[in-house]
Amino acid sequence: MLCDVCGERDAVVKVTQVGEQGKTLVQLCERCAAERGVETTVSLSKNPLGEFLSDLQKQAAPSSASDALHCSFCHATLRDFRATGRLGCAHCYTAFEPALRDLLRRVHGSSKHLGRRYELPELAMSEEQTELHELRERLRRAIEAEQFELAAELRDRIKVMGEV
């Protein structure tokens, strides 16, 4: 399939645009995608973070000690991160922590996150889990109301269900 914009090269990126007229699917080649700010391997240099990282790479000495750092899990190096702007795995954050903190300070002015925290959505509970949750809540209320006979009965029902 050819690019919807230039009509010359093969489309490699599909972009869904939502506007007043509704959804539109646009298929783009790498070059047209990069021109529109869609991140591809070609567009990394147009990305502000990519430009920043490449500037850092130019400033760093070729044999600096920090470039010798590597992740013990995926073996990615700090030089790889500077070239691509991407870490190899979750363990890279620990391996490259000093360099990443410095980068965050330069980009954001701080290395601490001050925004909202992501909270996992509550997963749908099975019927048994829902009943167990209700029993625990009733047990808590019975203890607060000092209804110890009811609390003992509820405790025993919870034990039977396999949870204490």
pLDDT of residue 156: 92
1 occurs within a structural domain:
yes
How large is the angle between the packed helices 148-160 and 127-144, nearest 10 degrees?
A: 160
pLDDT of residue 38: 76
42 occurs within a structural domain:
yes
pLDDT of residue 124: 61
Q: Are residues 107 and 142 in the same domain?
A: no
Q: Which is more confidently placed, 64 or 114?
A: 114
Name 75's Cβ contacts closer than 8 Å, sequence gap at least 6. Answer: 88
58 occurs within a structural domain:
no
Number of domains in the chain: 3
81 occurs within a structural domain:
yes
pLDDT of residue 154: 92
11 occurs within a structural domain:
yes
40 occurs within a structural domain:
yes
Q: What is the pLDDT of residues 26-37, one digit of tens each?
A: 888 888 887 877
Angle 122-123-127 from CA coordinates, rounded to 5°: 120
Statement: residue 107 has pLDDT above 80: no
Q: DSSP per residue over 61-130, as a string?
A: -TT-GGGG-B-TTT--BHHHHHHHS--SSTTHHHHTHHHHHHHHHHHHS-SS--SPPP-PPPPPPPHHHH
pTM for the full predicted model: 0.35
Domain that holds residue 23: 1-46
What distance lies between CA 157 and its chain's CA centroid? 41
Q: Which is more confidently placed, 129 or 60?
A: 129
pLDDT band at 61 (very low <50, low <70, confident <90, very high): very low
Q: Are residues 10 and 40 in the same domain?
A: yes
